[in-house]
């Protein structure tokens, strides 16, 4: 009887390990940064769907989409029969995740601050969730080393900077405090010319009064070229040719491409720092 019990226990443990190993064969990723991490870890074959913020790499665009990360519906996700849903804490509504869990689907919410350490924490959290802990640690270490090498090139200066987003009918929106843009500027030692919270519309008068030395314009898919030119025409940044257009999905993603973001933006903010060398080149 003891031998039989031992055999049954071994069998049950083996079955449990097998279930754990295959528990995340069908994954839905909700947040562009998390999706990038899944690809960077080589686990993209497990993805069955992503949200609309998951636009990199291009292969992610070929996957079924479950909608915008803040306007999800449980029905669309359940129809894909996922084993696991990974999502940032910004995703919602919360009732959707409660419904998914009630349906027996594993849900992993991942939160991290928008910083080098925060990106590393995201990578490790995704890796642990996918049973790719060692791979995630190596990726996190590489991202940290390259990011810190880029940041070390920043001189002792704090350029007055304006970060703009095009917002369709709402016009141009200036990034203020408690935004991803603010976190990025803080990381690079730049001073935000606006102190309001969140994103607010900016007029030509407001931009002139703020007098930014540098302007970063995040592309959002809207063609706002004429409006940008009118709004910024009299600013110091326009006079010195320091209005730079950037891919908002890249620069505000806070994913594994963070070193590329810093290597791109630091020379724009600090021309005298020279071009940041890319590791491995």
CA-nearest of 44, 134, 50, 116 to 88 is 50
pLDDT in tens, 223-253: 556 778 888 999 999 999 999 999 999 999 9
CA-nearest of 216, 213, 159, 218 to 189 is 159
pLDDT value of residue 229: 83
Task: Among 73, 91, 111, give the residue marking a domain's end.
Answer: 111
Q: What is the CATH number of the domain that holds 71?
A: 3.40.50.1980
pLDDT value of residue 167: 57
**Close Cβ partners of 91 (under 8 Å, ≥ 6 residues apart):** 30, 31, 51, 69, 70, 72, 97, 109
Residues in the chain with pLDDT values less than 70? 1-24, 167-170, 220-225, 273-281
The helix or strand, by DSSP H or E, that contains position 227, with its residue range, turns out to be helix 225-232
Backbone conformation region of residue 269, classed left if phi is above 0, alpha if psi is from -120 to 50, else beta: alpha
Answer yes or no: is 28 within a domain: yes
pLDDT value of residue 19: 40
Answer yes or no: is 256 within a domain: yes
Q: Are residues 185 and 269 in the same domain?
A: yes
Answer yes or no: is 225 within a domain: yes
- Give the sign of the dihedral formed by CA 64, CA 88, CA 175, CA 268: negative
Task: Among 76, 111, 146, give the residue marking a domain's end.
Answer: 111
Q: How far is 143 from 140, CA to CA, in rounded Å?
A: 5
- Give the sign of the dihedral formed by CA 250, CA 256, CA 260, CA 261: positive
Q: Are residues 99 and 177 in the same domain?
A: no
Long-range Cβ contacts of 135-143 (<8 Å, 24+ apart): 135/41, 135/42, 136/37, 136/41, 139/37, 139/40, 139/41, 139/256, 142/279, 143/116, 143/119, 143/256, 143/258, 143/259
Q: How far is 122 from 37, CA to CA, in rounded Å?
A: 8
Q: For the chain, what is the domain count?
A: 2
pTM for this entry = 0.85
Answer yes or no: is 116 within a domain: no
Q: Are residues 107 and 168 in the same domain?
A: no
Q: Are residues 22 and 91 in the same domain?
A: yes
Answer yes or no: is 185 within a domain: yes
Is the N-terminal amide bond of 170 cis, ω within 30° of 0?
Answer: no
pLDDT value of residue 22: 47
Q: Are residues 186 and 102 in the same domain?
A: no
Token duo for residue 168: 């369709």
Task: Among 78, 111, 144, give the residue marking a domain's end.
Answer: 111
pLDDT value of residue 8: 37
Q: Are residues 166 and 267 in the same domain?
A: yes
Q: Are residues 166 and 106 in the same domain?
A: no
Q: Which domain holds residue 58?
A: 2-111
Token duo for residue 157: 């200066």
């Amino acid at each position: 009887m003891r031998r039989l019990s031992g055999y049954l226990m071994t069998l049950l443990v083996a079955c449990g390990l097998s279930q754990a190993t295959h528990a995340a064969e069908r994954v839905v990723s909700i947040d562009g940064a998390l999706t990038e991490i899944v690809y960077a870890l080589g686990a993209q074959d497990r993805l069955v769907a992503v949200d609309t913020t998951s636009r990199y790499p291009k292969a992610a665009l070929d996957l079924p989409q479950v909608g915008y990360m803040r306007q999800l519906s449980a029905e669309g996700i359940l129809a894909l029969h996922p084993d696991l849903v990974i999502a940032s804490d910004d995703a919602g509504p919360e009732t959707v995740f409660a419904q998914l869990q009630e349906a027996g689907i594993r849900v992993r919410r991942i939160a991290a601050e928008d910083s080098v350490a925060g990106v590393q924490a995201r990578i490790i959290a995704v890796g642990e969730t996918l049973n790719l802990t060692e791979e995630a640690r190596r990726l996190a270490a590489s991202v940290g080393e390259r990011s810190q090498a880029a940041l070390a090139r920043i001189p002792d200066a704090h350029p007055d900077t304006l970060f703009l987003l095009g917002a369709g009918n709402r016009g141009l929106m200036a990034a203020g405090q408690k935004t991803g843009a603010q976190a990025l500027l803080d990381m690079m030692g730049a001073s935000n010319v606006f102190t309001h919270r969140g994103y607010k519309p900016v007029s030509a008068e407001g931009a002139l009064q703020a007098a930014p030395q540098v302007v970063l314009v995040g592309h959002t898919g809207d063609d706002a070229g004429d409006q940008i030119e009118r709004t910024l025409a009299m600013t110091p940044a326009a006079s010195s040719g320091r209005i730079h257009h950037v891919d908002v999905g890249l620069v505000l993603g806070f994913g594994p491409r963070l070193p590329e973001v810093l290597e791109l933006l630091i020379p724009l903010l600090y021309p005298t720092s020279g071009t940041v060398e890319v590791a491995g080149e």
